[in-house]
Amino acid sequence: MLKYQQIAAEIEQYINDQDLKQGDKLPVLEQLMSQYGVSKSTVTKALELLERRGVIFQLRGSGIFVRRHNRPGYMSLFSTQGFKNNLGDRVLTSDVLDVSITKPSEDVARNLGIDVADDVYRVERIRYVDGEVFCYEESYYVKAIVPYLNREIVADSIFDYVQSALGVTIGFSDMYMQVGRLNETEAGYLGLKMDDPTLRIETIFHLTNGKPFDYSRITYHYEHSQFVVQANGPYM
């Protein structure tokens, strides 16, 4: 783990341990430097990271302050998208409906930047948060990058497996969201009625080298999906 990541983690831990609230002040930069025994730029980098994650904000001439105070019941939109599956103390489980190797449709192939002749894993599951239906997910993995999957892996976190077992690292993702109505199949999966409202999110996950490796379509249960997004400034 890199120094600045380590320091960021420790500062976040410190905030939790001291139970600091919105607006509370952290030690000044210079103290953090000597405290962790690193240079200014390393501390700055750790703080930038925490700032982007919505944990703190910095005000020059004044200090470093705690920002986070998320509403209970709202999940970070990013935490539900493969990134860090810490949904706090919530339990995430899955019903795996399908894990199979197929050929992608035109649409899927385009989103993954591959040919329709290339193999993909198709994964279909229903996901639960604390036992309640959360979403229905259909996703496709490029087999050339993810050569093997099974029901066990898929029931757990696919991303953890991909990163640890395959040694590839996820770089960035593009999410496309829209609101609509459930069709009959989806309604059945989610325990809702046809034409009920829903949030649909398509996400294309890329490796650090820019290659797409996962395209997923998620249909959310509208009553159990509340998301928070923390944005940073006009120049984010």
Partner DNA sequence: TACTATAATTGTACCGGTACAATTAATCAA
Partner DNA sequence: TTGATTAATTGTACCGGTACAATTATAGTA
Q: Interface with a copy of itself by CB under 8 A: which residues?
A: 5, 22-23, 49, 52-54, 57, 59, 62, 65, 67, 70-71, 74, 77-78, 81-84, 170-181, 196-199, 206, 208-210, 220, 222, 225-236
Do 171 and 190 meet the contact criterion of CB atoms below 8 Å apart?
A: no
What the block records as the tokens of 170 is 């996820």
Query: What is the rounded CA–CA span in Å between residue 43 and residue 22?
Result: 21
Question: Is there binding between residue 121 and DNA (CB under 7 A)?
Answer: no
Query: What is the rounded CA–CA span in Å between residue 171 and residue 209?
Result: 7
Nearest distance, CB of residue 116 and a copy of itself, angstroms = 19
Residue choice 22, 60, 69, 236 for contact with DNA (CB under 7 A): 60
Do 48 and 58 meet the contact criterion of CB atoms below 8 Å apart?
A: no
| Residues 214, 210, 92: CA angle, nearest 5 degrees | 35
Q: Which does 63 bind (CB under 5 to 8 A by kind): a copy of itself, DNA, none?
A: DNA
For DNA, give the closer residue by CB, 4 or 128: 4
Measured from the Cβ of residue 13, the count of other Cβ atoms closer than 10 Å reads 10
Question: Is there binding between residue 200 and DNA (CB under 7 A)?
Answer: no
Q: Which residues, 6 or more positions from 189, have their beta carbon under 8 angstroms from its beta carbon?
A: 126, 133, 136, 219
Find the part of the chain contacting DNA (CB under 7 A) among 33-41, 97-105, 108-116, 149-157: 33-41
For DNA, give the closer residue by CB, 2 or 179: 2
Question: Is there binding between residue 35 and DNA (CB under 7 A)?
Answer: no
